[in-house]
Amino acid sequence: MSTRRPMRIRLDKRRENSKIIDSRLNIALMVIGLAWAALIARNFDLALFRHSQFSRIALSQQKVKEEIRGNRGDILDRRGVPMSWNISMPSIYAVSRDMDNPRNTASQLARLCGGSSGKLREGFEKRPCFCWVDREVNPRTVEALRRQNLKGVYVTKEPRRRYLSGDMWRYLIGNVDIDGHGIAGAELAFEDLLYSEGSKIWINRDARGRRFDAEGEYESARNAGNSVMLTIDANLQDILVQKLRDGVERFEAKGAYGVFLEVGSSEVLAMGQYYPKGVSSTRNVVISDTYEPGSTFKLVTIAAAVNSGRFSAFDIIDCENGSYKVGYKTIKDYKKSGKIPFRRAVELSSNIAMIKVAHELGRELIYRTAIDFGFNSKTGIELPGEAVGVMHEPKDWSDIEHATVSFGNGLTVTALQMVNAYAAVGAKGILYQPHILKAVLSPEDELIYEKKPEPIRRVISERTAATLLEFFTGVVDSGTAVAARIEGLKIAGKTGTSRKVKEDGRGYYYNRYITSFVGMYPAEDPVIVGYVVFDDPEVNKTASTSAAPIFREILMEYLCSASRNFDIDDDKKVRAEFCDYVEYNEMNGDDFTDNRKYSEKINSFDDLNKMVLGKPLRTAINMIHNQGYDVKIKGSGIVRECFPKNHGDQLIYYLRCG
């Protein structure tokens, strides 16, 4: 008995130990199971119920939301030549909540970009999520910034506006502010069409906050505005502005301006000005400035006389040998005449003849005819800043004012009103609304809208219009505007010379003038009408010796250019005879096209080549001359091809235009 008991005790202890182990194992397994259950529950919680929350956290760490400006649409001329377009420029912004030390970052940025570190810190505090540091910076600044590797500082691309002629046509094309909104000219007039709203995109970034999205994807996310096609002919616009500049320098004038329209639609083909000083670059003198026109306004008196049937071309008028008294004033003619036909009185621009005609017609008819031609009201052109001019109602006219209105004094007009009145004569007596918008194109270059000519009213009969064209052809052939004549072509036109009104409006300057000429081509059935005005010339103080010859030069060069708005059989003979000297066709005997095979590509000149392509010829010549190089030219108008060629030690740029 005694020998078996210890063995039983041992077996019992083993059983107890086994139970303890089993219970501990069960507890461990239970704990492990609970832990797994908790992990699984947590996983379900994260995956199913809190997924969006943690996705937002991850997104905020991996990406940054950035607002990008939309691409503004282009402004094109009537042939699709870009006059205003976008290029991408880098801009720097900061997200101060991503910075380790905003104060230190502000100091570094101030040294790098210029400006005040205090203002930057203030901006960081007010706008911790987005604050501009510097906009439209040069690439060297961006490279220096990247070397600094500043946390919370980023670079984005913004569209920046470029213009075909730089600032020269700003009064017409306008400009935009730093945020890409139009603030003048066509940029302002067509803001709703050109501007595109910005968009927001997520940009990937690494642990240091550096963006690593492909730029192509970034740029493709931009919204785009519509493009606007203007009625402007960039070639004629360039010729007009350059000839006005030449005239201002030649005649020592304060300034000059001009405008050309297409007859039968009143589309504005060119609208230019040149003032060396004293006039804002965004002020469009053609539509915003008013002046006393002088003899070009005789159109109203002549039209009223012929259209009423009370005067014909050969009715005799006594011009009183050049001196005639009205009330207490003595009116004089520039050229003394006696009894002459009405048509000859027009050709010689007799003030006295106009006074007598206006007296016969009465005040109401003169006034009503002026209103019908569009004077004393806005033309309705789309550009901002149009003035009206002043013409008193006939009931308020004195006898002297009745007389002076007949030859264009005692009232004010704009240049656009004047040229559009003559356009009505060329359009067989129908007045059209002048406009500068030709079409609207989508970002994909699909036509959205095309502007149609808008006739306003018939002003004079077709027969009267034809008679007036005959009168004005005589003015150029044998009257006051012989300086506008081009041998072999028929041009109709009218000169105007008026004394300048004093700045305080009290009387006239004794020896300061406004000289002007309006011309239509071809005279028999005009397709184009142009108006040129010189403000206060010191030399050649009459329209016959200033405005008329400049009009001739403008028309000649435009006819000789490869790119023009019309092609008339009658001018081909004249082009062949007169245009070689304008187009520089001979090129010293070299063949222009073949020269390219001898031209070595010089990388340092690539930028200059790109700069002149698409530019007006004179702008390109000035740019190349400013770099110290000579130019050889074929054609005129817009530069289509450009390449350099070495002639010994001399580098010459060859330009083909059209």
Task: Please provide the DSSP assignment of 125-164 as one string.
Answer: HH-SS-EEEESS--HHHHHHHHHHT-TTEEEEEEEEEEET
Domain shared by 26 and 74, yes or no: no
How many angstroms separate the CA atoms of 78 and 62, rounded?
48
Domain shared by 116 and 20, yes or no: no
Q: Is-cis flag, bond preceding 443, omega within 30?
A: no
The two beta strands, 227-230 and 75-76, are parallel
Biggest CA–CA distance in the chain, Å, is 174
Question: CA angle, 303 as apex, 298 and 305 as ends, to 5°?
Answer: 100
Q: Which residues pair with 153 in a beta bridge?
A: 94
Helix H or strand E segment including 291: none
Are 73 and 226 in contact by the 8 Å Cβ rule? The answer is: yes
Domain shared by 423 and 293, yes or no: yes
Domain shared by 400 and 379, yes or no: yes
Q: Which residues pair with 213 in a beta bridge?
A: none
Structure pTM?
0.77
How many angstroms separate the CA atoms of 69 and 649, rounded?
48
Helix pair 298-307, 462-478: axis angle to 10 deg: 130
Residue 84 lies in a domain: yes
Residue 55 lies in a domain: no
The DSSP annotation for 20-38 comes to: HHHHHHHHHHHHHHHHHHH
How many angstroms separate the CA atoms of 461 and 611, rounded?
50
Domain shared by 493 and 602, yes or no: no
Q: What is the pLDDT of residue 214?
A: 43
Domain shared by 271 and 331, yes or no: yes
How many angstroms separate the CA atoms of 300 and 563, rounded?
34
CATH number at residue 311: 3.40.710.10
Residue 502 lies in a domain: yes
How many angstroms separate the CA atoms of 488 and 620, rounded?
32
Domain shared by 175 and 319, yes or no: no
Structural domains in the chain (count): 4
What one-letter code names the amino acid at 394? P
Taking phi over 0 as left and psi of -120 to 50 as alpha, with beta for the rest, 445 belongs to left
Question: What is the spatial order of strands in the sheet that 639-647 belongs to?
Answer: 630-634, 650-657, 639-647
Residue 57 lies in a domain: no
Q: What is the pLDDT of residue 126?
A: 83
Residue 368 lies in a domain: yes
Residue 145 lies in a domain: yes
Q: What's 46's DSSP letter?
A: I
Residue 636 lies in a domain: yes
Q: What is the pLDDT of residue 561?
A: 77
Q: What is the pLDDT of residue 596?
A: 31
What are the mean pLDDT values of the chain's consecutive 10-residue runs (658 residues total)? 57 65 75 79 70 64 62 91 85 83 85 82 82 82 83 81 85 90 95 80 57 51 83 94 95 97 97 93 95 97 97 96 93 93 97 97 97 97 96 95 96 98 98 97 92 97 98 97 92 96 86 96 96 96 95 90 68 62 36 34 53 75 76 74 68 75
Domain of residue 649: give its range: 584-657
Taking the CA atoms of residue 280, residue 282, residue 287 and residue 293 in that order, the dihedral angle to the nearest 10 degrees is: 20
Residue 170: both structure tokens together:
């700003």
Boundary (domain end) residue, out of 580, 595, 625: 580
Q: Is-cis flag, bond preceding 276, omega within 30?
A: no
Boundary (domain end) residue, out of 230, 260, 285: 230
Domain shared by 510 and 651, yes or no: no
What one-letter code names the amino acid at 484? A
Q: Within 10 Å of residue 493's Cβ, how many Cβ atoms?
A: 29
* DSSP strands (E only) in 283-356: 316-318, 323-326, 329-332, 339-341
How many angstroms separate the CA atoms of 132 and 474, rounded?
65
Domain shared by 459 and 336, yes or no: yes
CATH number at residue 174: 3.90.1310.10
Residue 595 lies in a domain: yes
Domain shared by 401 and 515, yes or no: yes
Which phi and psi angles does 522 have, rounded to 5°?
A: -75, 155
- Residue whose structure tokens are 């356009």: 423
Domain shared by 224 and 243, yes or no: no
Boundary (domain end) residue, out of 212, 230, 248: 230
- Which residues have C-beta within 8 Å of that of residue 166, sequence separation ≥ 6? 619
Domain shared by 454 and 331, yes or no: yes
